[in-house]
Amino acid sequence: MSVTFERRLSPMDTISGTHMSSKGMQTMTSTGIPSMDQLLGGGFAMNSITVLEEDGLCAFAPLFAKCFVSQSIQCKHKTIICSQTISSIRSRFLRELPVLSTQPSKQSAIGSDDLKIAWRYKGQAVGDNPYSTSAQHFDLSSHISAETLSSADIVFCTHNTCLDAIRSLGSNGGQTVVRIFIDGLGSALSPISVESLPKFVYDLKSLYFCRGMHA
């Protein structure tokens, strides 16, 4: 589960790692994966809660989570990691976070000899992506340095202490995006039962209102 929110700011304030959506004038922040941002219309809307179901081999969900956390660190956002197994920067999950790619993103041109497309689209020009995004391109083959991790603003907590950690954070003020990564919620390792998940999510969402945050 991924959560993003921001504290109340005036319209003229800008926050690192955020952008305005092309539709609806919502404040957005990147998922950490540019192609996923495009599918979601520009990334995660601020104050959103996203539930990601793990695949059978548990291959893609961890990569998504690592890009989400790496994007947070790169943009200097406050990161809350709520997990029963990830408890410090020495944890394997954090040591395997990807780094920014040094290669510029390339978009290959598509010509008539490269791809056969329907006749009614053939004469149309290829348009730009309408969704602005603050996404970074990460290199999954290289891992983040220990120095970067040690300087990152990361708070660790368990499922039982997650809400208390957010409450204490909301009362401290500040102007930054807060990204919350909740690992394995509802799993066998989690003390929160499946039946209690709706209440947990409701309490999580209600914190935005109680602590004067955008919702």
Amino acid 107: pLDDT: 47
Instruction: Please indicate, yes or no, if residue 28 is contained in any of the structural domains.
Output: yes
Q: What are phi and psi of 212, to 5 degrees?
A: 70, 35
Q: Domain holding 144: CATH number?
A: 3.40.50.300
Judge residue 58's burial from the number of C-beta atoms within 10 Å of its C-beta, 0-12 exposed, 13-18 middle, 19 or more buried: exposed
Give the range of the structural domain holding residue 158, as residue numbers without chain letter: 2-102+132-210
The DSSP bridge partners found for residue 99 are 139
How many domains does the chain fold into? 1
Instruction: Please indicate, yes or no, if residue 123 is contained in any of the structural domains.
Output: no
The mean per-residue pLDDT over the stretch 85-95 comes to 92
The mean per-residue pLDDT over the stretch 211-215 comes to 45
Is the distance from CB of 15 to CB of 75 less than 8 angstroms?
no
Over residues 105-114, the pLDDT tens digits come to 554 444 444 4
Q: Which among 117, 131, 118, 147 has a CA at the least distance from the CA of 23?
A: 131
Instruction: Please indicate, yes or no, if residue 126 is contained in any of the structural domains.
Output: no
Helices 197-210, 162-170: crossing angle, 10 deg rounding: 10
The predicted model scores a pTM of: 0.77
3-class secondary structure, 65: helix
Confidence of residue 80 (pLDDT cuts 50, 70, 90): very high
The answer for residues whose C-beta is within 8 angstroms of residue 84's C-beta and 6 or more apart is 158, 159, 183, 184, 189, 190, 191
